[in-house]
Amino acid sequence: MKSSRHQDTQVLRKRGVIAFTLVEILVVIVVIAILAGIALPLFTSTSVKGKLTQNLSNAKTVGLGLRLYAADHKGLFPASATSANAAYRFIVPNYIPTQKVFFLANSGWCTGSQPVEYGPTGTLAAGQNNYAYVSGLTDSDNVDYPLLADGFNDGAPRVYNSVKGTKGGIWSGTKAVVVRVDDSAEILPVAGSDFKVHSNGIKSGNANTDIFTTSATWMPSGTVLNPE
């Protein structure tokens, strides 16, 4: 004797109604879940690449502003002993017409709102700048010296971390945007062993060199300053 469910299915088919069994529905759900699992990482990867590209472009704009300032000040980049923001205020708005290029959403350093164009409170308030700065360099220094980069750990300039959304963790400790003295910009890998950006022997001749360190043979002067 045929089951009641089978009879119901036969009746629906005779009436021209397409009926799915529970197994068929489960198969469809599994296929959809598999496709979603494949698509989500691809979407996330594309989104991260887009943010990195925008970050690289903004950092290069800041670097250009610094070089324009140096051209008008006997080759000297802005000097500051306190913070990257203090140095960057020398180039806004005379050399960079907008503050928005300093802001990076999801950066632990950008805790405030995106900066509006210049109001009575001044420029680049705390929480509105993502980029660290190397103070004390000139435009005639080694073109491979780093001039600015994504902000580092709070209290530990030169070091990143793997905690996304924290200060120094914008790219989860895997990479960093770096702009050099000649305004060339790169997305460089961060070493998992110490969360620093190493030269890999290409720039300084020493594979173990942290490109933001100072030494007699690599960047003799320069002070790394974090954002505010």
How confident is residue 111, by pLDDT bands cut at 50, 70 and 90?
Answer: confident
- Beta strand pairing call for 223-225 and 131-135: antiparallel
3-state secondary structure of 217: coil
Provide the pLDDT confidence category of residue 46 given band limits of 50, 70 and 90: low
Amino acid symbol at 130:
N
Please tell me whether residue 135 adopts helix, strand or coil conformation. strand
CA distance 138 to 75: 5
Q: What is the DSSP letter of 101?
A: G
Q: Is the pTM of this model over 0.85?
A: no
Residue with the bigger pLDDT between 18 and 51: it is: 51
Write down how long the chain is. Answer: 228
Dmax over Cα atoms in the chain, in whole Å? 99
What pLDDT score was predicted for residue 204?
A: 46
Among 32-41, 49-58, 88-97, whose mean pLDDT is lowest? 32-41
State the pLDDT at residue 120: 46
Which helix (H) or strand (E) is 225 found in, with range? Answer: strand 223-225
Q: Closest by alpha carbon to 212, among 228, 195, 227?
A: 195
Average pLDDT, the chain: 82
For the chain, the C-alpha Rg in angstroms (whole number) is 26
Amino acid present at 66? L
Specify the pLDDT at position 55. 94
> Over pLDDT 70: what percentage of the chain?
76
Q: CA-based angle 177:182:188, to the nearest 5?
A: 25
CB-CB contact of 133 with 98 (8 Å): no
How wide is the angle at C-alpha 139 spanned by C-alphas 84 and 216, nearest 5°? 85
pLDDT, mean of residues 18-30: 69
For 3, counting Cβ atoms within 10 Å of its Cβ (0-12 exposed, 13-18 middle, 19+ buried), the class is: exposed
pLDDT, one tens digit per residue, over 143-181 is 999 999 999 999 888 999 999 889 999 899 999 999 999
